[in-house]
Chains A and B, each alone.
Chain A
Amino acid sequence: EAGVAQSPRYKIIEKRQSVAFWCNPISGHATLYWYQQILGQGPKLLIQFQNNGVVDDSQLPKDRFSAERLKGVDSTLKIQPAKLEDSAVYLCASSSRGLDILDEQFFGPGTRLTVL
């Protein structure tokens, strides 16, 4: 079974530029998560999708971050414009069941973003 795929693996941009990350979850997984992980900290949930609908985006900085999950499969996370404090690893995860936080989450390798 293929795992969660993310691209790019690394990205370096200057502040005020825009950037987009892509995630392809495990086939058939209904729930998709985007996390932000700052160095030395645990992951912070940005947004959770159930199929192509948003379940929770309470911690997503909506003035600069946006995310979509077209057709309930792939997802993109965009930052526009980026700030220095957005430097972090962006993790995508998926789980098979819907709205079950006890369900095991499968994580991708992450995208390491550096904002200069």
Chain B
Amino acid sequence: LAKTTQPISMDSYEGQEVNITCSHNNIATNDYITWYQQFPSQGPRFIIQGYKTKVTNEVASLFIPADRKSSTLSLPRVSLSDTAVYYCLVGEVSNYQLIWGAGTKLIIKP
């Protein structure tokens, strides 16, 4: 089973770009990388998903290098409301499993 490793916590300031890196050394050929965001007292919310290279949507970008052993979630120009826990997941297509790690607690300061 692929396992993800993320920093436990990160701090940044409003208006900055934040990059959160996730390590998934044992990722299999058909596995995808998915990121979720969770605010206190709420369920997680889907942010972005990718397989390789770069994916961008209205809230974030996801960078995946060629070896796919890591991925980086990029949040442009963060605000206080981006303070949350961010989870990197590897979707094991062959086993129909999503492996949830412990997440990264991101704190944005004014």
> Which residues in window 76-116 of A have CB below 8 A to B?
91, 93, 99, 101-102, 104-110
With beta carbons under 8 angstroms apart, the residue of A4, A40, A101 that contacts B92 is: A101
Q: Is there an interface contact between B96 and A43, defined as CB atoms closer than 8 Å?
A: no
With beta carbons under 8 angstroms apart, the residue of B44, B92, B102, B103 that contacts A107 is: B44
**In the bound complex, CA of A56 to CA of B55 (Å):** 30
A41-B102, A44-B100 in contact; A107/B93 too (CB < 8 A)?
no
Q: Is there an interface contact between A101 and B44, defined as CB atoms closer than 8 Å?
A: no
Q: Is there an interface contact between A102 and B43, defined as CB atoms closer than 8 Å?
A: no
**In the bound complex, CA of A105 to CA of B5 (Å):** 21
Number of B residues contacting the other chain (C-beta, 8 Å)? 20
**Would you give the 0/1 interface string for B79-110, flagging 1 where the beta carbon is closer than 8 Å to chain A?**
00000000100011100111011110000000
Instruction: List A contacts of B42 (CB < 8 A).
Output: 107, 109-110
Q: Is there an interface contact between B96 and A42, defined as CB atoms closer than 8 Å?
A: no
Q: Say whether chain A's binding surface is mostly helix, strand, loop, or mixed.
A: loop
Instruction: For B4, give the chain A residue with the smallest CB separation.
Output: A42
Q: Is there an interface contact between B43 and A42, defined as CB atoms closer than 8 Å?
A: no
Instruction: List A contacts of B98 (CB < 8 A).
Output: 45, 101, 105
**In the bound complex, CA of A104 to CA of B91 (Å):** 11
A40-B102, A102-B32, A102-B49 in contact; A56/B96 too (CB < 8 A)?
yes
Instruction: List A contacts of B54 (CB < 8 A).
Output: none
Q: Is there an interface contact between A99 and B96, defined as CB atoms closer than 8 Å?
A: yes
The residues of B with any CB-CB pair to A shorter than 8 Å are 32, 34, 41-46, 49, 87, 91-93, 96-98, 100-103
